[in-house]
Every structure is written in structure tokens, then in C-alpha cells.
Structure 1
Amino acid sequence: MAARAERAADLPDLDGAIAGCFACPRLVAWREEVGRVKRASFRDQEYWTRPVPGFGVVGARLAILGLAPAAHGGNRTGRIFTGDRSGDVLFAALHRASLANQPTSVWRDDGLALRDTRIFSAVRCAPPDNKPTPVERDTCAPWLHRELALIKPALRVVVALGAFAWSAWWPAMTAVYGVRPPVPRPPFGHGARWTGNGTPTVMGCYHVSQQNTFTGRLTPAMLDEVFAEAKLLAGID
């Protein structure tokens, strides 16, 4: 799998390779089981039930790094942060920031387009309880590293949604940019920020999960502040 990731010549090639991955037996079994059982409200839909590629533009100056697809979101629709409450919050914020052409993301062919932005996750399959194992995280890492390498020329800022994504950034930074992470590694926090020599700025943001948005831990105003700062640092008008 790592060799296949390295051979990907461009983003479409990489996206196709990701969608055909069967490297993690537990995740394969779970994503397919979810697609068979389905949620009652989606019982008439055909689930994607494959790894979910990244979404966005080739020359992205801003990247948004998440944890993994949702079982009835990306695993159903085939696009990251699409068809679930987390995506509702995220894309509404991106639209307010003029980084998305519409505030909703319901299906992979709904006309959504991003500006100067690409979104992907550290783990590409929906995991049980939203908790990938360390082995699954490390097995999936070559996909993330290759995606970052392909958008490296323009990339200026990475927004890490949650502590898992924040942790995934440091080995990716070393693999793609050849820069060792600082010791000790900067702790995750909403509004945390770190810039290394020749690497993109990484910004921490609470994840757009219902656990955070329904409790008020993460508000629309807080997201607006994050993306306003990210645009400024990335040089996006």
C-alpha cells in the first residue's frame, strides 16, 4: 500500500488508489457492515462503503485535516465531511469564509466546490466508535503523506481538526518536508499554532463534532476566527 501511494502521479490517481484500499481488515469489515445495515433514514440509499479520498483543489494553499470519515456521512456519500452534522457545520463556516461556493454538502455530486482549499483525513475509512487503532493510523499514513506531497508546492496552512489530526501532522511533516518535529511537541489546543522552517503553519481547531458544537465548546464565531486567520496566513484574499 505504501508503494502504491508513492507511485500516485497526481491527485486523481491517488484518489482512485485510496478508494480501492483494503489494507485494514477491521475497518473494511466495519465500513461494509454499516453499508449493509444502514441507518433507517438512509435505508433506500446505496452506501459508498470504501475509503474516502480527499476533496478540493490541486493548488490548495489551505488544507483541513480531520480524523476519519463518519460511518453514515463520508462512508455513505463518498465525500469527506458530507452528509452529516459535522459537515453541516464545517461547510457553513467555509462558505462564510468564501472558501466554498455553497454552505451545504449533502452528496458527492451536489455542485460543491472549494476555493484554495483541500480537505482530507488522517484515516480514510470510517472506524468503529470513531476510534482508529494506532496500527490503522500508521497503515493509512502513506496516503496522507502522498496527498500532502502532491499539494506541497502551494500549501501554506494546515488546520488540524482535533487532537488526533494534530498528532498526525508531525510524522507527516517529517515524511513530506524532512523536518523533525519540535521536542516536546506543541500540545493541541483550539487556537494553537506552530510554524517550522520551510513547513506550513499548523493551526489547532476543536473538531466540528456534535459533541463540541452541540455543547457550545465550538461555536460558529470560533470557527470564523480560525478560518479568517488561516486565510490571512495562507495569503488568500
Structure 2
Amino acid sequence: MRSLSLAVAAITVASLAGCGVLPEGPPPLPPTFVPVVEVSARPDGLVTSTDGFTNVQRISMRVRGNTCTQFINGSAWVLNENTLITNRHVIEGAQNLEVTSYDGRDYTVTSSVLSTVVDLAMMTVDAEFTEFAVISADGPEIGDQLSIVGYPNGDRLETNTGRYYASVPDTLDNSPDFVYAIAAASRPGSSGSPVANQLGEIVGVLYAGDEGENSYAVKLSSLTVFLEDTSTHKPNPFVCN
């Protein structure tokens, strides 16, 4: 679609150039002029702001750090003024954790806790965010389109959209909970990404993908328990043997 638009624009410019004398341009704008940019709706229903990014994209963060043996990268999202959510397997046993926003701002993680039940973790950072997640009151229905917003391979922010097609057992994490199966590709580094419905509300947290075009996310019900029941939290110490 974008290539087609550029091609049409090029043809239009060429035809104008063949018209001979160009009409006189408009007068210069006054120095006090402030442009007004209308908020637009994306085809997937998510509302964008004046900078062209959705709320879910603006609250998505890239995670970096290291364990005793390797560097790690993943994704996370802003829960409130100074708290982020990611996966347990992303940050367990890690130190020197930092998160980076979509527009390149870096924040240092000061503490973190892990879930004892599902693949979730919570990080506290040295920041006061002014924009954070809107968590849905209800989980998705089979057939709903869901968006996964994160940083695959620790690279640029990316949004993938796919259909939620099944609730399946969590065979990777040995959790008693079921997880969402979504027909959308994901890659290493995407773990911890927010999963949003078409209203931009968070309904889950990506934690795994297969070699095909399928991703798996911790369900809203599991996320709610983690957020509300601190007895499911445990410290995340950094220990090297």
C-alpha cells in the first residue's frame, strides 16, 4: 500500500511539472502559527496520538540486562507511574536491568519481583511515567484480533496483529493456568510484550512463540491474580555460583 501511494505521488508530481508555469504559492505563515493535528484511528481500531504512535506502543519498553552467563533482552510495558510488567524468564537472575522507551529514553530498574505461579515479573524503575496501560475488564473472545507490541531481537518497536483462536494448557511453564494462542508471529526479544485488544486495552502478556505463525500469552485472569495477590510474588536476587 505504501509503495503504491509513493508511485501515485511520483506520477502526480511528474504531471504537474509538465504544465509549464507553476501558480503563485501561498503567503508565508505568521510566526505565531501553531498547527493542529487531528487524532486519527488506525485500521485495527487503535487510536493514535499526534505523534502517530498508539498508547500501547508508547507504554511498551525494551528490556536489557545480564545474568551470570549472558546478556538478555526482552520487552515490557508500563503498569503505573514507576512499575513495569514483563516475563519471569526475561529477568530472572538478571542484574543491570535497564528499559528503553519507544522514543529512546532510558530508565534504570531499581528492584523486581517474580511470580511463583506464572511467567510474569514486575519491575520498579527510577521514573514517574505519565502514561500507562489501560487493563481490560474482560478477556478476549475467540476470533478477536489482538495486537502484540514489543521489541523482537532487541531491535525496533514492532506491532503484530493476529486472531485469538484457542485457550491452551501452559506446557512450557508447568503452570496450572491456560494461555492464549494467537495466530501471529513472534521472535526472541518479544517476550513480555503487552497483548492488546482493538480498544488498546491490555488483555495479556506475550511469553512464547513457535516456529510457525503462533504466539502464546499469559491470560488476563492470570495477570490480574499476579497484580492483586502479593503472596504470589518472590524476590529476584542476583546470585552467581
TM-score with structure 1 setting the length? 0.31
Structure showing greater relative contact order (alpha-carbon pairs closer than 8 Å, 6 or more residues apart): 1
Which structure features the higher share of strand residues? 2
Larger radius of gyration between Structure 1 and Structure 2: 2
- Provide TM-score, normalisation by structure 2: 0.31
